[in-house]
Structure 1
Amino acid sequence: MTKQPDKTTRRALLEELMTHRKMHLCQALKVVGSFDAAEDVLQNTAVKCLSSKEIARPEKMRSYLSKMVRNAALDYIRKHRNEISEPFEDESKLATAGMDDRCGFRALESKQTLAQAMDAIATFPQRSQDTFLRHRVGGEPQNKIAQDLSVSCTLVNFMIRDIEAACIKSAA
C-alpha cells in the first residue's frame, strides 16, 4: 500500500538531517575521509532534500536519510576521484596540475614549441634539414644517410647535433 505524498516530507527530511547532524556527518566522514568533504556531502544532501519532488513520507526517516547521505558520499568520491589531493609546495606543480594532452593550454604550448623548432630547423641548409628529419623523424640510421649523401658518418652526426642544439635553444 503506497502512501500519498506529504507536503512536509522535504521539511521532515531536512529536520532529521539537522537533528542528527553529527551522526550523518560521521557516516559521510567514514566514506569520504575528510571533514570538509563530509560537510560538502551533508550540504549536497540538504539541497537534494529541498529540491526533490514530493515523495511519500518514509516510515523510517533516519534510515532513508542515512542512505541518502551514503549515496551522496559515494557520488562525491566518484566525482572527485581524479583531483590531485596533495598540497602544492611550488608553482611548478601548480602549473601542471590538471593538465593532460587534451588540455587546450597544453596543446597550444606544444604547437608553439613545434613552430619554434621548425623555425630553428629552417635556418640550416636544406641538406642538413633533410638529414635531421630523416634521422629524427624518419628513424633512418646515420650510416645509411651518410652513404646516400656520400659524406662521412661524422658529418651527418654533426649536422644532426647542430640542428638539435638549435631546436633546444629556440624552445628555452
Structure 2
Amino acid sequence: MTEPVSTSRCDSPLLQAFIENRLALVKIAARITGCRSRAEDVVQDAFFRLQSAPNITSSFKAQLSYLFQIVRNLAIDHYRKQVLEQKYSGTEEEGLNVVINGASPETSHINFSTLEHIADALTELPSRTRYAFEMYRLHDVQQKDIAKELGVSPTLVNFMIRDALVHCHKVSGSSPEACVRR
C-alpha cells in the first residue's frame, strides 16, 4: 500500500510547483486530449513520474517548463493511444455482425491448398534465396543480419526476398502488391 501524499507541504520544490500549478497542467492536457477526465489521468501519471524523478535544482521557471513539457508529452502519448484504440475498436453490435472468413470447409481447403503450393514453390528456389525469404518473412530477421550470415550485401538479400515473393505469387496466382509487407 502506498503512502498518502500531503498536499500542504512537499519536500521537493518540483512537486510543490506541480501541486501549485495543477489546474493549469490539467488545462494543457485537456486541450490535447479533448477530455478533462482524460487530462486528469495524464496529470496523475505525470505526478507519479515526478515522485520518482531526481531533485532538480534549477530556477522556478525551468521547473515549470519541465512540468509542462512532461504533461504535454504524456498528453500527446495518451491522445495517440486513444486514436489508435478508436481506429481498431467498434461497437458491440458491429462485433456481433462480423462474418468469420474461412469458416466454411471449402475456404479452409482452398487456403490449405494454396499454402501447399507456396511450400512447393519455395522448394523450387535456390537454397540461399529460400533461406533469406524464410528468415525474413517467417522469422522476422532483419535483412542486414541475413546478409552478414550469408556473406552477401543487404541489397542482394533484398533482391532474393523479392524474387522469392514474385515466384510465390506466380504459383498462387495472386498479385505481388497484395502481400507487400507494411
TM-score in terms of structure 2 length: 0.43
Instruction: Identify which of structures 1 and 2 has the higher relative contact order when contacts are C-alpha pairs closer than 8 Å and 6+ apart.
Output: 1
